[in-house]
Amino acid sequence: MTSPRQALHLPGPLAWLVVAFIALTLGMPALRPVFAALFPYLDRPVYVQESFVSLVLAHLELVAVSSGAAVVVGVLAGIFVTRPAGAAFRGVLDTVVAMGQTFPPVAVLALAVPALGFGEPPALIALFLYGLLPVMQNTIVGLADVPEAAREAAAGLGMRRMQVLWQVELPLAAGVILAGIRTSVIINLGTAAIASTVGSKTLGSPIILGLSGGNTAYVLQGAILLGLLAVILDLGFARLARALPRRPS
């Protein structure tokens, strides 16, 4: 049955949030009178050191690269330890990956800066380590929950092990794996803000500058855009999850 929203072709919450995010990103300087009225004691009520468009693009690039690496490594590691050849390494791998998330990102940044210098490299390492655990854990859980009957049926059809993995196991585990990727990306999106402490350009730049200089307007501008971006990505992942085929019970 067609819902009233679908019948009228009205955009959903995700579309409205995307429009609001783009409008704020492009039009933040035009809101100077608003922030000047809210914070009359500030000489500079709007962050102008860099454009918000460049901050958003740099932030998304940092998250995309680090999360992409975490997804590739996490999924491959999860597959490896669920195969007979890698089962013996599961405990060791769990410990190593968990240690990577136990260390606060700030500590990882502090350790990486002397070796890699300031900028994006230490931030990428910290975000990669922080986003790896949810992906690997959910890959393991998703593959472990695949019904054995499905594997046996595939083998009975003459499929080889790799065919069973790609055509049966991964499609059935896709929903659980996507949930881990969703968690990893959202964590990295928020954590990437602190990368500005080591010279990386992100939406954390106005937040950190505002906190250090007592400029609440800067903090709000960065935080509002970052919060909207997190909600947009979360709703996007939710829509993608609904589009996946449901696992048979």
Number of domains in the chain: 1
pLDDT tens string 144-163 = 888 888 888 888 888 888 88
Tell me which amino acid residue 95 is: T
Within a domain: 249:
no
Residue 233 structural domain: 12-243
Domain CATH number, residue 103: 1.10.3720.10
**Overall average pLDDT of the 125-143 stretch:** 89
Return the closest-CA partner of residue 138 out of 167, 166, 170, 165. Answer: 170
Within a domain: 3:
no
Within a domain: 223:
yes
pLDDT tens string 80-92 = 988 888 778 878 8
Show contacts of 205-209: CB within 8 Å, 24+ apart: 205/47, 205/49, 205/50, 205/55, 206/47, 206/49, 206/55, 209/47, 209/49
pLDDT tens string 103-133 = 666 767 777 777 777 778 888 888 898 888 8
Label residue 101 by pLDDT band (50, 70, 90): low
Least confident residue range of 24-38, 42-56, 83-97, 178-192: 83-97
Within a domain: 7:
no
Within a domain: 43:
yes
Which is higher by pLDDT, 104 or 93?
A: 93
- Residue where the block lists tokens 């009957």: 149
**Overall average pLDDT of the 206-226 stretch:** 94
**Overall average pLDDT of the 2-19 stretch:** 67
Q: What is the DSSP string of 55-94?
A: HHHHHHHHHHHHHHHHHHHHHHHHHHHTSTTTGGGHHHHH
Within a domain: 129:
yes
Taken in order 224, 120, 106, 136, is the CA torsion positive or negative? Answer: positive
pLDDT at 8 over 60: no
Mean pLDDT of the chain: 86
Structural tokens at position 7: 């019948």
Residue 50 has what pLDDT? 92
Within a domain: 2:
no
Which is higher by pLDDT, 181 or 86?
A: 181
Percent of the chain with pLDDT over 90: 46
Residue 174 has what pLDDT? 92
pLDDT at 10 over 80: no
**Overall average pLDDT of the 201-220 stretch:** 93
Within a domain: 4:
no
CA distances to 203, 223, 227 from 215, rounded to whole Å, are 15, 13, 19
Q: Most confidently modeled of 8-12, 16-20, 86-90, 95-99?
A: 16-20
pLDDT at 7 over 90: no
- Contacts for 164 with CB less than 8 Å, ≥ 6 apart: 151, 154, 155
Distance (Å, whole) CA 20 – CA 66? 26
pLDDT at 4 over 60: no
